[in-house]
């Protein structure tokens, strides 16, 4: 799901400055209302500060720790094999909509034990806020959230929704609004960002012979994944606020400060030749998962999905090339970095 950013008068750039700011939750607060054009509730734990942030995060962390995600690896692998075979079995198709998006949704269906919802999630397209029209609107997502919340209260299925609906935070069961905020993040956080990551992997291997080096062992998969995360920076920027919004009747218009993750990922003082996608880059302290207390809760999902996907590519006999592409790149100085894969079709060599 794309993120609507309020205009900000200041943007923090550079690796060291970002790490410092992302740790400083008092100066740069996450207590803000994002996507205010389509929702009136906070995404949790994303849009609250410590100590409340820690309470939500601690309650949700067990679902996303590495061992919890690793147990799904074989199902991820099966999904990758099936969808790759389907993608290359017919006429050229879009990588984003016909491979990356379905794969990410099928994997989320495994993690959340909601296979019955996968086709609906896919039908929303790359961005649920524009699922019904080009105009941003929250109706599709909110109908879904209200429906699964009522189902979860009845304990009709054993899945993550049922567990979240009965979670207790600070001794109180989560409210319907808190449920919306938590599940909204679960559906958004691992959606378009991972779709972009997997699409970028397909794009790069179509333009180079580096998949052969993965197969020969010259390039390690885990090292390559970190470089893909750095170079693609799936979420380039997030806002913080210098004035926490909770309980405030009047708020300064200039309160928003942008955290430019992409600038940190291309900081020449940290990364040698940062505009080159170097899959053998050894030292890679990228900021694609953020930093500090709000470090992405789903980082293991992204890394493990990408690892299994690349292992499947490695073990296949597939080699492909670009058929058609329409890539929107970032503005200078990141003009070589893809922002959006508007159209990407690949075919077997």
Residues 336 and 320: their CA atoms lie apart, in Å, by 22
DSSP three-state, residue 286? coil
Please tell me the pTM assigned to this model: 0.95
pLDDT tens digit string along 31-73? 999 999 999 999 999 999 999 999 999 999 999 999 999 999 9
Provide the token pair at 147.
């429906």
Tokens of 296: 């992405």
Is residue 60 a contact partner of residue 45, using CB atoms and an 8 Å limit? yes
Query: Quick one: DSSP state of residue 243?
Result: S
Band of residue 1 on the pLDDT scale cut at 50, 70, 90: low
Per-residue confidence at 80, pLDDT binned at 50, 70, 90? very high
Q: Which domains are delineated in the chain?
A: 39-234+288-348 (1.10.630.10)
Q: Name, in order, each residue with C-beta under 8 angstroms of 119's C-beta and a sequence gap of 6 or more.
A: none
Q: Is the pLDDT of residue 3 over 90?
A: no
Provide the b/e sequence for 118-147 (b: ≥16 CB within 10 Å): beebbebebebbbbeeeebbbebbbebbee
pLDDT band per the 50, 70, 90 thresholds, residue 106: very high
Q: What is the pLDDT of residue 9?
A: 77
């Amino acid at each position: 799901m794309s993120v609507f950013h309020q205009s900000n008068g200041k943007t923090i750039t550079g690796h060291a400055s970002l790490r410092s700011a992302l740790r400083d939750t008092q100066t740069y607060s996450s207590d803000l209302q994002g996507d205010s054009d389509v929702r009136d509730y906070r995404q949790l734990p994303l849009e609250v500060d410590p100590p409340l942030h820690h309470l939500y995060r601690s309650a949700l962390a067990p679902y996303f720790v590495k061992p919890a995600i690793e147990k799904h690896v074989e199902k991820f692998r099966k999904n990758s094999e099936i969808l790759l075979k389907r993608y290359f079995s017919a006429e050229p198709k879009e990588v984003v909509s016909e491979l990356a998006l379905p794969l990410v949704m099928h994997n989320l269906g495994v993690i959340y034990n909601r296979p019955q919802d996968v086709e609906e999630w896919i039908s929303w397209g790359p961005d649920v806020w524009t699922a019904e029209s080009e105009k941003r609107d929250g109706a599709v997502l909110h109908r879904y959230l209200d429906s699964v919340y009522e189902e979860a209260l009845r304990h009709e299925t054993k899945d993550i929704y049922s567990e979240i609906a009965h979670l207790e935070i600070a001794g109180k069961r989560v409210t319907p609004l808190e449920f919306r905020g938590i599940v909204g993040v679960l559906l958004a956080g691992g959606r378009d960002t991972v779709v972009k990551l997997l699409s970028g992997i397909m794009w790069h291997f179509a333009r180079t012979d580096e998949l052969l080096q993965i197969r020969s062992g010259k390039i390690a998969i885990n090292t390559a994944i970190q470089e893909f995360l750095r170079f693609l920076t799936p979420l380039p920027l997030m806002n913080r606020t210098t004035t926490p919004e909770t309980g405030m009747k009047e708020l300064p218009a200039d309160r928003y400060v942008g955290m430019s993750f992409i600038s940190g990922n291309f900081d020449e003082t940290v990364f040698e030749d940062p505009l080159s996608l170097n899959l053998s880059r050894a030292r890679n302290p990228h900021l694609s998962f953020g930093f500090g207390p709000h470090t992405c809760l789903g980082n293991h999902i992204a890394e493990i999905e990408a690892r299994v996907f690349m292992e499947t590519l490695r073990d296949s006999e597939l080699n492909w090339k670009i058929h058609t592409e329409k890539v929107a790149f970032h503005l200078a100085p990141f003009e070589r970095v893809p922002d959006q894969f508007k159209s990407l079709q690949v075919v077997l060599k």
